[in-house]
Every structure is written in C-alpha cells, then in structure tokens.
Structure 1
Amino acid sequence: MENIGQELQQRQQELLLLQRQQQELEQRKRQLEELNTRRNELIHGQREVRDRFLRAIVILERAEAQSRKEVEQMHETRQTFSEQLAEINAIEPSEWSPASIEEELSRALAKVDQAQAVYTQSRAKLDALRGRDLEPAEGGEESAGSGSATSGNDSFMDNFLRGLAFNLPIIIAVLLGLVFFQFLR
C-alpha cells in the first residue's frame, strides 16, 4: 500500500508538473500569437505607408514637371512680351518722312496687330497651362473659391470655342489689314 501511496504522490507531482508545463506552453503560444499579430500589423502598415509614399512621390513628380513646364512657358512668354514691347516702343511716327508715311503706317499697324496676336496667343497658352486667366474678370469681380475664368474640367470643345472667341477679333483685323494692304498696292 505504501508503494501505491508513493506512486500516487509521484503521479500527482508529475501531473502538477505537466499542468505547469501546459500553462507555460499556453502562455508561450499566446505570446507567439500576439507577436504574429503585431508582425502582420507591421507588414500591413508598412505596405500601406509604402503605397501612400509611392503614390505621393508620383503625384509630386508630375506636379514638379508641370511646374517646370509652367515656369519655362512663363519665361518664354516674358521674353516674347519684352521683344514685342521693344518693337512697339520703337515705333516713332515723328521720325517718318512725309514721302513714306503710308508705308511706315502700314508697317506700324502690322506690328501692332502682330503684337496683339502674340499677346492673345501667349495669354491663352498660359491660361490653358495654369487653368486661370492672367487678367482679372471685367468689373473687378472674381468668382469665389476660384480665380479662374475656365475650369480644369472643361471639354476640348469649350476650350476650342473660347480660343476662337479670343482670337476672332485678331483674325478679322489681320484679314482686313491684308485686304486693305492689297487694295493700296
């Protein structure tokens, strides 16, 4: 009987040891599951942040390229405007000889018409590039929330008609000038 008591006591100690080991294993399992969950959160968060940064970099690169294009266009337009201004300032009717006044007047009018055409064309390019008008709306009012006479969502046809409307007076003036010039010959 003593043997049975000792064996029972030994088995109980083994059972307690196994229960402790089971608790330790369950605790270790919970720790590993928590680590796995955190690792998955890290991978998901890392992927999400990486995708956001990649999209943002692409957007910024496009915006940077567009800004460079705008600056380049503005620089070219400023140079063109300066050249046209110099041409207009160089017109001095007081220096024309009476014998060539008609010819000089025709040349001067052609320069003015050309300068107006260049201004309108360049302005339309800048407006289209930047999506806004260089000059404030008539009456000094600008629409709320937008300094733009055109919207970035306008269709090609809308922009084409605006361009035609901007350039129609110049086209007519040039055609009339050509007819008048041919008539004087």
Structure 2
Amino acid sequence: MPSATEHTHHLRIRNTQLEMNSSDDDKSGGDVDGKLRLAQTQLEELQAQRKELERLKIETEQLNTRKRELIGSQVEMSERLSSAVTLIDRELFEMRQEIEDLEQCRSCFSAHLTKIEKLNPESWTQEQVPDRLDRAIAIVDHAEDEYSQAAEHFSRSRSASIFQGVRRAKSSKSEFRQQFYRGLAFNLPVLALGGLALIAYICK
C-alpha cells in the first residue's frame, strides 16, 4: 500500500509538469505569432510610407518642373509684352502726331481751296487783269508750295498715299498758266470790244 501511494504521488507531479510545459509552449508560440503579425504590420506600414514618399517625390518633381516652365514662360512673355507695349506706345505717339499734322494740313489745304475756288478769271475786266492775275498766280503758287512740302513731310508715313498726285500738282502751275493765258487771249478781243462799246455808250 505505501508503495502504491508513492507511485500515485509521483504521477501527479509529472502531470503537473507536463501541463506547465504545455502552457509555456502555447504562450511562447503565441508570442512568436504576435511578433510575426506585428512585424508584418510594421512592414506593410513601411511599404505604404515608402510608396507615399515616392509619390510625394514624383509629385514634387513634377511641380518643380512646372514651376521652372512657368518662370521661363513668365520671363519670355514679360520681355515680349514689354517690347510690344513700348512699340505700341511709340506707334500711338507717331499716329497722334501724324493725326495732328494731318489736321493742320487739312485746315491749310481747305483755306487754299477756298481761295482758289474764288478765282474767276472770266469775270475780270480788262483793267482788273494785270493786278488780279499776279495775285491769282501767287495764290496758286503758294498752295502748290505748301502741298509739295506736305507731300514731302508725309512721304515716309502711312499717309503718303494721300499725296500721290504731288507730281500732277507740281505741273498744275504751268497748266494753269497756259489755260489762263489761252482763256485771256481768247476773251481779250471780246473784252476790248465790250470796253469800247461801254466807252461809246458813256460818251453819248
């Protein structure tokens, strides 16, 4: 009987040790699995962070490239626009100056035109011809001189086409004189006869 009791007690000790060893193994295995899962999670997080960093790096490089392109375009367009504004300002100044000159020219030509249109050699009497002839020729000559000066002034401007008839105007002096003298020669006998008739009528 005592032997049986000792044997039974010995078996209980071994069972307890087995249970403790099994519990330790389970705990150790659980710790390993947990560590593996934690390591896996951390690895996935690192990979996600690396991908995010790579994405940010690419995005940053693209933004920097676009920024450099913007700066280059900005400098180029600034130079082009600045040059264009300067040229436009110069062109506007020249246009305004030309408009002012044209306005003065028009006023001058209008005055000459009024004077020339008032000339009517056919209505002059024989006594008026010498004096009025010189004045009429002076009026036409003055208009021709100012027309030629205006044509020369505007010859290098956009208004040059206005004065394309300047050569014709230069020859108008001789043509006017020729026509005037022809008309005077043709009408002189008539004027003379009219004058004689008037004198005869007065003498009566």
Letter in 1 for 2:130: E
Larger CA Rg, structure 1 vs 2: 2
- Whether 2:36 is the aligned partner of 1:20: answer no
Could you tell me which runs of 5 or more consecutive residues in structure 1 were left unpaired when the two chains were aligned.
138-165, 174-185
> Quick check: which one's helix share is greater?
2
Q: Report if the CA contact (8 A) 1:127-1:134 is conserved.
A: no
CA distance in 1, matches of 2:146, 2:163: 16
Counterpart for residue 150 of structure 2: 122
How far is the alpha carbon of 1:16 from its aligned partner? 4.0
How far is the alpha carbon of 1:42 from its aligned partner? 2.3
Counterpart for residue 41 of structure 1: 69
Counterpart for residue 93 of structure 2: 65
CA distance in 2, matches of 1:76, 1:131: 14
Letter in 2 for 1:36: N
Alignment TM-score, normalising by the size of structure 2: 0.55
Counterpart for residue 132 of structure 1: 160
Counterpart for residue 79 of structure 1: 107
- Whether 2:136 is the aligned partner of 1:108: answer yes
Could you tell me which runs of 5 or more consecutive residues in structure 2 were left unpaired when the two chains were aligned.
1-24, 175-204
Identity across matched positions, percent: 30
The 3-state SS of whatever aligns with 2:162 is coil
Alignment TM-score, normalising by the size of structure 1: 0.60
Root mean square deviation of aligned Cα: 3.5
How far is the alpha carbon of 1:78 from its aligned partner? 0.9
Q: Report if the CA contact (8 A) 2:119-2:136 is conserved.
A: yes
The 3-state SS of whatever aligns with 1:128 is coil
Q: Report if the CA contact (8 A) 2:112-2:143 is conserved.
A: yes
